[in-house]
Amino acid sequence: MNRKMSLERAVEAFAGFMVLLSVALTWFVHPGFAWLTVFVGANLFQQAFTGFCPAAMIMRRFFGFQPAASGSA
């Protein structure tokens, strides 16, 4: 069993964290932080169609995450 997190899972975890963080910031700091949620959602939407994800590029280059193997789930 491979316990190392794949690049795809790391991006999903990061996006989920950013949404939760933006909701907390919107609630406790300023309503303008709702735009962070919009940005994260729009980035996920465009990534589904284009395959371009800046967070994935950063995670691969600086943190060493690798894409999942073709046959794994």
Report domain extents, the chain.
Answer: 7-63
Contact, 69 vs 2, CB < 8 A? Answer: no
Q: Which pLDDT value is given to residue 36?
A: 95
Taking only the tens of pLDDT, the chain with its 73 residues reads: 557 889 999 999 999 999 999 999 999 999 999 999 999 999 999 999 999 999 999 999 999 999 987 655 5
Give the pLDDT confidence score for residue 69 in this predicted structure: 77
Helices and strands (H and E) in the chain: how many: 3, 0
Kindly state the tokens that stand for 33: 């932080």
The reported pTM is 0.82
Structure tokens at 56: 């994935």
For position 71, what pLDDT does the model report? 55
